């Protein structure tokens, strides 16, 4: 399959008790309904993997939607709390505002942490293989180390690679002499 279409397990789903409970209830029921009825065991096992994947995708989408809804509601609540605090600055209003901001920050930090883990995993998997990641790294390195021009003592700018080399060796001498 193509790299863009491959599915990988989001391990954080297994930390959610709702997901593990759903899988724990669903899988024995699946094997009870489909096992031992003349269907080859390898087929039952392969279909089980698809059903498990579908369940995890379902829960991943649900949790993502819940998180987005919670972020939206927190943002709105923070806006309201800020307005209330500006109108009447009381310690309770400030406490409420701080608690809402902290909860939003925790949600966004968890989201950023997951994104960083995925990026680290991608670079680990593709870091030393030829492809777009290595090409981008080499391109950046080339752009940082490439000499676009050199200025001579007479403040004349040399742009051509051949002129840069001649000027460099004229000013600093040749490096072809070797001592052994």
CA distances from 65 to 33, 59, 102, 158 (A): 31, 10, 20, 58
Sort 37 into a burial class: Cβ within 10 Å, 0-12 / 13-18 / 19+.
exposed
Q: Is residue 162 in some structural domain?
A: yes
Query: Is the confidence at residue 2, as pLDDT, over 70?
Result: no
Indicate the SS3 state at residue 162: helix
Domain around 163: 130-175
Q: Is residue 180 in some structural domain?
A: no
106 and 136 share a domain? no
Tens of pLDDT, residues 53-107: 999 999 999 999 999 999 999 999 999 999 999 999 999 999 999 999 999 999 9
Q: Give residue 171's pLDDT.
A: 72
Q: Which of 12, 17, 15 is nearest to 113 (CA)?
A: 12
121 and 135 share a domain? no
* Rounded Cα–Cα distance for residues 155 and 93 (Å): 65
Tens of pLDDT, residues 120-130: 888 788 777 77
Write down the pTM of the prediction.
Answer: 0.62
113 and 135 share a domain? no
């Amino acid at each position: 399959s193509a790299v863009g279409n491959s599915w990988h397990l989001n391990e954080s789903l297994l930390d959610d008790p709702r997901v593990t409970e759903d899988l724990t209830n669903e899988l024995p029921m699946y094997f009870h309904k489909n096992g031992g009825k003349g269907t080859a065991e390898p087929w039952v096992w392969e279909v089980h993997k698809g059903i498990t994947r579908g369940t995890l995708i379902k829960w991943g989408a649900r949790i993502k939607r819940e998180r987005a809804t919670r972020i939206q509601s927190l943002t709105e609540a923070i806006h309201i709390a800020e307005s209330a605090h500006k109108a009447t600055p009381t310690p309770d209003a400030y406490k409420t505002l701080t608690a809402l901001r902290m909860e939003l920050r925790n949600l966004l930090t968890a989201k950023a942490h997951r994104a960083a883990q995925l990026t680290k995993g991608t670079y680990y998997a593709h870091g030393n293989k030829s492809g777009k990641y290595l090409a981008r790294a080499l391109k950046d390195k080339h752009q940082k180390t490439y000499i676009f021009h050199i200025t001579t003592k007479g403040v004349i700018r040399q742009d051509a690679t051949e002129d840069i080399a001649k000027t460099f060796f004229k000013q600093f001498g040749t490096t072809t002499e070797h001592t052994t």
